[in-house]
Each structure stands twice: as C-alpha cells, then as structure tokens.
Amino acid sequence: MSGPICILGRHFEPEELTQLQSWIDQRHGQSRRALSVGLAQLWDWRNPQGQLRDMAARLLLNRLEQRVGLRLPSRQNRGGRRQARPSNQGALTPSRPITEPLAQLQPLSVHLVGPGQAQRARLAQYFLAHHYLGYPHPLGQLHYLVTDGQGRDLAVLLFGPAAWKCAPRDLFIGWSAAQRQAHLKQLANNSRFLILPWVEVPRLASHVLSLVLHRLRQDWQGNYARPLELVETFVDTSRFTGGCYRAANWIELGRTTGRTRQDRAHRLQTPPKRVWVYPLDPQFRRRLCA
C-alpha cells in the first residue's frame, strides 16, 4: 500500500500498518479475540461507559485483513447459529423437571449477564442446544438469565438492535424515514426468548417477560448511554402462538413480508412472522417522531 487508509474512523499510514503487523507477529499463537482485546488495551479504546471496544478492534483487524492483507491467525469457530451444538448438553439438564406452580418458584431473580461472567457460557449453550435459531453474535445483545428462589435456571433472553425497517412497526410509530434513522437506536429487539425445556410452569413466560421489561430501560441506558422507548419482537407462527407476549400486554401489529435484508430480488427468503411491540413510555411517539 502506497498511501494512508481510514477504517472505522482510524487513519493508518503505511509505516503504522507495518508496526501493527510486527505487533501481531510478536504474539504468535494468540487468537483473534485475544489480539483484539490486547489492541483495545494498547490504544485505550473504550466506549462512553469505559468498556474496552474489543469487538470494534476485532472488526478493524478483519477489515485490514481484507483491504491491505494484514496477516492474522486463522479464524476459530465461535458463536453463531452455524456452530455445532455443545457436546456437554447433559451437564446443563437438571435431574428432574421443574413443574412447581409459579407461586412456589418465587422470588424469581433476573440477572444481566455481562461479557466474561461465568454464567455467559452457560447461557450461550442453552441457546445453542435448545433454541431453533441458535445463538447469534453477542455484540450489542443484552443477556438475561432468570432463576427461581432456589437458584435454578428457568429462562434466558437476549435484547439487541431493532430491525432497520418493519412496515407494521413503522406505521404504528408514525415516523418518517428520517425520524426512523435518527431514533432507531431507541428501540430494542427481543431477539431470543427461551423457557428451558425441562421447565413446565403455567404463566411463567409472560411473568418473565414482565420482570425483564421492568428493568430493561435502565439496563439499556446503563450499557448504551441512550434512552429506550419501545421493544419489538418477531414470532414465527409456524412454531409459536405468541400467547405469552399477549398475556404480558404486548401489542400485535401484523406480519412481516418475509424478506431478508439481502432480498434484492423481492423473493421470500424467510417465513413471515408476527410483529409484537411493547412501548416503555406513554410518550414514546412524541420522542421517536421528534
């Protein structure tokens, strides 16, 4: 490369890229994840909450590999829905089903599980083993684990970025394309919800949804330094009725078209899903349409 390059807001001169390659070569045997953490520490690259931006550093390294041929270690098969299911699923299954009435499981506890916490790997394995969509990329997802009064795991949930476009949702909010672009980050998507398969407790799912939503707005503000006005989810009705969302007072808006973001030819790529939303503040329209 003969001139400078800019990636993710960072400018690199040719000699700086040479230094970066030397820094990587000196860490032979480290994974891409370890390199991204080390690079974020080296640059003191942090988000507004003071957390290391190691995922941004990893994205930057991958972009440099593509653009200028930066030499990186081979990719490791981690996360994502294509990953094989864990081999120790049995270790996550209790010796007997949990069937007590909801009142006997109280008090339930909602745990926000951050990166590096011991519960995070267990939570990911639950999704890989028991959710039909698997475990998505964890970046930008708030991870929740719900336990009963005895400390037994009952449910796991993920909340992440909202869909870029969704006609029923956008019509319900009443915002323009410019308003959507300006305020989309004030919406969250309940991308995964799993009651563990050995838990058979009536009314538990809607109760869990209500408990998590009670604290979600504060957690979103604390992690992303921005307000949260509305939550959405998409329910595949060929598998589920969405009854727990209805019981938790979510609002059903209609169906998606079934197109993915890559559907340039307007062919249906995924089954249409029911759209549900939950406003977190009575003034959500005024704020989202400002």
The domain of 247 spans 92-288
Task: Please say if the pLDDT value at position 126 is more than 90.
Answer: yes
Q: Are residues 63 and 97 in the same domain?
A: no
The residue that leads in pLDDT, 269 or 124, is 124
Q: Are residues 20 and 136 in the same domain?
A: no
Q: Are residues 248 and 175 in the same domain?
A: yes
Give dist(CA 200, CA 216) in Å, integer.
Answer: 25
CA distances for 158 relative to 45, 59, 262, 272, 286, angstroms: 26, 22, 23, 21, 27
Q: Is residue 205 included in any domain, yes or no? A: yes
* Full-model pTM: 0.68
Q: Are residues 157 and 96 in the same domain?
A: yes
Tell me how many domains the chain contains.
Answer: 2
Instruction: Name which of 207, 203, 167, 162 is nearest 186 in CA terms.
Output: 162
Q: How confident is the model at residue 63 (pLDDT cuts 50, 70, 90)?
A: confident
Q: Where would I find the beta strands (DSSP E) of the chain?
A: 5-7, 10-12, 109-113, 142-147, 153-161, 187-195, 230-235, 251-255, 274-279
Task: Please say if the pLDDT value at position 144 is more than 80.
Answer: yes
Paired tokens of 158? 């993920």
Average pLDDT, the chain: 85
